[in-house]
Chain A
Amino acid sequence: MKMTGIIFSNVYDTSLGDLTMKRTVASLPFGGRYRLVDFVLSNMVNSNISSIGLITKYNYQSLMDHLGSGSEWDLSRKNANFYILPPFASGATNVYRGNLEALSNAIQFLQSIKPDYVVLCDTTVICNINYEKALESHVKSGADVTAIASRDLCAYETVDNDLILKKGEDGKAVDLAIGQSLGEDSLAGMGMFIVERKYLLSIINNYVARGRYSFERDFLLTRFADDSVSINVYEFKGPVLRNHSILSYFKNNFRIMDERIREDIFNPKSPIYTKVRDEAPTYYAETSSVSDSVIADGCKICGKLENAVVFRDVTVEEGAKIKNAIIMQGSSIGKGAKIENAIIDKNVTITAGATLIGGSSSPIIVHKGDTI
């Protein structure tokens, strides 16, 4: 009972604004040393999935650079199939409008592989999930589709495009909506589905040919209304962080400091892998003062940090004060600079004495490579 993984790297590009101007959602840095794709990819690898297709649309250079041959995820093996699937330019559709259309570019991949089942995933969701258990539930249910969903996520916040489900006694969906609460007891889809490979191929062929492009909206919702699809709801009970907007992304970075979330998502038995950069350990100077922060390797911290997420190879000079901020890889914060409620993208230089203060629900974003 083997599974193939399909990862959509671009689905929510537009909702993350400036952060995805020069990258895909999948390659958005998260949590001090990761890219969003690391979580989905590690979950698949930890679930013994070794044939994986990653569908990209545009801006995928940084993603290719990050993934390389896949060896950090142990996917560079003779018996592993790890493919990055860029758009097939000569096809009928150049740029995908939705995930079904994107899948039509992965048809050859899906036809060429052996596993009977496919798990479809977005990269916006962060969690530590075992897809083998979800598959077990799918097979046992006999349903056409299994939607992986979370109660927590529904309670936390929902957005326009969220798939909302209501589960019956037998675990099958009894009600379904998009972007609309179904009252108490409803679950939010995590952008993860399990289907049989042959069934998925038939859906792609049927729907894309008729100009339908969304798996949730065009396929699930309409077929559910006709009563011609059965949906098994697999409830995932661990913590789920979903990054569908700049604000949720900003907040989620700090949520990994919550001990329960940290222990679950970074469970050493199912580790999250990422690209290795061979940085030295981080040095904390005598002048440093750090509290409630997550700090990666290769940094030099001489200033003050409070509630900060600091990526690899960041320098914080003496007297700099940083509060509620995300500082991405390779950035340097000059002497006496003051930063509050900000997202500092990669390789940014904040010169000495500069002040950057954003709102707690509207963080300032400094673009990759800029000097302030």
Chain B
Amino acid sequence: MIRGKSKECIAMLLAGGQGSRLKVLTEETAKPAVPFGGKYRIIDFPLSNCVNSGIDTVGIMTQYQPLELNDYIGTGSPWGLDRNFGGVHILPPYAKSKKSEWYKGTANAIYQNINFVDRYDPEYVLVLSGDHIYKMDYEKMLRFHKEKGAECTIAVLDVPIEEASRFGIMNTNADDSIYEFEEKPKQPKSTKASMGVYLFDWKILKEYLIADEKDPDSSNDFGKNVIPALLGDGRKLFAYQFDGYWKDVGTLQSLWEANMDLLDPNVPIELKDKNYKIYARNYAEPPTLISKTAQISNSFVAEGCSIKGSVKNSVISTGCKIAEDAIVINSVIMPDVEIKSGAVVKYAIIGQESIVGMNAKVGEIPEDVTSVKKDICVIGKNTVIGAGETVGQ
């Protein structure tokens, strides 16, 4: 018997992807646990969104390199998700009596956790992914879902038409109902791109997940199978328009760009907002020490750093040491990195706990800085760049 009242809406967060496009950064780390914005991990954004939207039960489905992520989530107390009933739960794939298998796809991951969802007897289930940076009040989306009498609501974002072919595009009627879904269309009919945020009536979703699992040809994916099946059956699908900042940080380039966006006053992502905090696990670090020789301009610097060198247009994460005469330009420095004296880091991402040796050079300024299509130079976690070495030039 379940003790505790049922929940109206719970969230299921897909965090099992390998994130192979983040290359060296995800060799030992699940993508949602990749550091972002100086003191956050990517997963802090969907988790904080849940909390700020009044959702207190979140299942996190993990399977790839879960150690760091599990450790980071812990009891969920940094997000206020250590609840007596509900709260945050890590859901790895597990062995069942008849068979055991990994999560085969996004839909299968939730299918395998039907018992978890049923325990809370929710009316609605929100399906999220752990690789997007955005601040969104899901409560408004839920209100929209109820008003429209929808069975499935998909959050969409207006993208420039020339970029639309990179996204899953929703083609809608005047009342926002969806009549067609096209994955990466060559000739997009609309600019409403799916944000990977789905809200379902649990009864309907459960039915379709069970049916999808029975289909041996299905790849058990929301975008490829479940949504088309719902559309094919004439179910009520609606597109919920989101106007704020949203960015998929699934590639090194976009991860770097999203960090740079924080420094751009024209980009509407504000981390310093008393009414909408992004929560993160905090470590006991002293405030940052900035020495006489330091020069910092247009940059974010988290706590626990010691800055003696020059930092420009960069994001410096918790616990970094930047020595005298070191130069950091347009770069993302992840936690606990040491950049030694005379080293120059330009247009780069330096992974956690790495060391850039004396007078080493990492990355270079692209020829055309207005459209950085050139690869950003990336150094993986725990890497040592020897003194005087040159990387990415």
Distance of B347 from chain A, by nearest CB (Å): 18
A280 adjacent to B288 (CB under 8 Å): no
Q: How many residues of A contact B (CB 8 A)?
A: 37
Q: A285-B297, A297-B303 are in contact. Are A262 and B289 (CB under 8 A)?
A: yes
B286 neighbours in A (Cβ, 8 Å): 31-33, 256, 262, 266, 272, 294
Contact with B along A67-101 (1 / 0, CB 8 A): 00001000000000000000000000000000000
In the complex formed, the residue of B with least CB distance to A291 is: B292
Interface-central residue, B37, B277, B290, by most chain A CB under 10 Å: B290
A257 adjacent to B272 (CB under 8 Å): no
B39 adjacent to A297 (CB under 8 Å): yes
Is A116 part of the binding interface, using a Cβ–Cβ cutoff of 8 Å? no
Is B103 part of the binding interface, using a Cβ–Cβ cutoff of 8 Å? no
Is A281 part of the binding interface, using a Cβ–Cβ cutoff of 8 Å? yes
Interface residues in B60-93 by Cβ distance below 8 A to A read 77-78
In the complex formed, the residue of A with least CB distance to B280 is: A278
Give Cα distance in the complex from A256 to B290, angstroms.
12
In the complex formed, the residue of B with least CB distance to A307 is: B292
Q: A31-B286, A32-B286 are in contact. Are A282 and B292 (CB under 8 A)?
A: no
B294 neighbours in A (Cβ, 8 Å): 290-291
Contact with A along B35-51 (1 / 0, CB 8 A): 00111000000000000
Give Cα distance in the complex from A271 to B297, angstroms.
30
Contact with B along A315-357 (1 / 0, CB 8 A): 0000000000000000000000000000000000000000000
Partner of B299, one of A32, A272, A284: A284
Q: A290-B290, A295-B287, A295-B290 are in contact. Are A282 and B301 (CB under 8 A)?
A: yes
B272 adjacent to A300 (CB under 8 Å): yes
In the complex formed, the residue of A with least CB distance to B313 is: A286
Distance of A77 from chain B, by nearest CB (Å): 12
Is B365 part of the binding interface, using a Cβ–Cβ cutoff of 8 Å? no
Distance of A39 from chain B, by nearest CB (Å): 11
Distance of A9 from chain B, by nearest CB (Å): 21
Q: A272-B284, A286-B297 are in contact. Are A281 and B290 (CB under 8 A)?
A: no
Is A298 part of the binding interface, using a Cβ–Cβ cutoff of 8 Å? yes
Partner of A278, one of B38, B277, B284: B277
Is B111 part of the binding interface, using a Cβ–Cβ cutoff of 8 Å? no
Interface residues in B260-274 by Cβ distance below 8 A to A read 263, 271-272
B287 neighbours in A (Cβ, 8 Å): 31-33, 294-297, 309-310
Distance of A68 from chain B, by nearest CB (Å): 12
Distance of A340 from chain B, by nearest CB (Å): 18
Q: How many residues of B contact A (CB 8 A)?
A: 38
Is B382 part of the binding interface, using a Cβ–Cβ cutoff of 8 Å? no
A288 neighbours in B (Cβ, 8 Å): 296-297
Could you tell me the dominant secondary structure of chain B's interface residues? loop
Interface-central residue, A31, A284, A291, by most chain B CB under 10 Å: A284
A286 neighbours in B (Cβ, 8 Å): 297-298
Partner of A295, one of B78, B277, B288, B317: B288
B295 neighbours in A (Cβ, 8 Å): 289
Is A273 part of the binding interface, using a Cβ–Cβ cutoff of 8 Å? yes
Is B291 part of the binding interface, using a Cβ–Cβ cutoff of 8 Å? yes
Is B198 part of the binding interface, using a Cβ–Cβ cutoff of 8 Å? no
Interface-central residue, A266, A279, A283, by most chain B CB under 10 Å: A283
A33 neighbours in B (Cβ, 8 Å): 286-287, 303
Interface residues in B285-343 by Cβ distance below 8 A to A read 285-303, 311, 315-317
Is B278 part of the binding interface, using a Cβ–Cβ cutoff of 8 Å? yes
A290 adjacent to B296 (CB under 8 Å): yes
Is A1 part of the binding interface, using a Cβ–Cβ cutoff of 8 Å? no
Q: A288-B297, A290-B296, A296-B303 are in contact. Are A281 and B289 (CB under 8 A)?
A: no
Q: A31-B287, A294-B289 are in contact. Are A280 and B271 (CB under 8 A)?
A: yes
B78 adjacent to A282 (CB under 8 Å): no
B315 neighbours in A (Cβ, 8 Å): 281
A284 adjacent to B298 (CB under 8 Å): yes
Interface residues in B22-44 by Cβ distance below 8 A to A read 37-39
Is A105 part of the binding interface, using a Cβ–Cβ cutoff of 8 Å? no
A42 neighbours in B (Cβ, 8 Å): 284
Partner of A284, one of B37, B272, B278, B297: B297
B297 adjacent to A282 (CB under 8 Å): no
Give Cα distance in the complex from A211 to B299, angstroms.
60
Is A225 part of the binding interface, using a Cβ–Cβ cutoff of 8 Å? no
Give Cα distance in the complex from A273 to B282, angstroms.
10
6 more A-B contacts (CB under 8 A) besides A280-B38, A285-B297, A288-B297?
A: A32-B287, A281-B38, A284-B297, A295-B290, A297-B287, A298-B272
Instruction: Pull 8 A–B residue pairs with CB atoms less than 8 Å apart, ordered by A.
Output: A271-B284, A280-B300, A281-B271, A284-B296, A284-B301, A285-B298, A295-B301, A296-B287
Interface residues of B (CB under 8 A from A): 37-39, 77-78, 263, 271-272, 277-280, 282-303, 311, 315-317
Interface residues of A (CB under 8 A from B): 31-33, 42, 71, 256-257, 262, 266, 271-274, 276, 278-286, 288-298, 300, 309-310
Nearest 9 CB-CB pairings of A with B: A32-B287, A280-B271, A281-B38, A271-B284, A281-B302, A266-B286, A296-B287, A284-B296, A281-B300
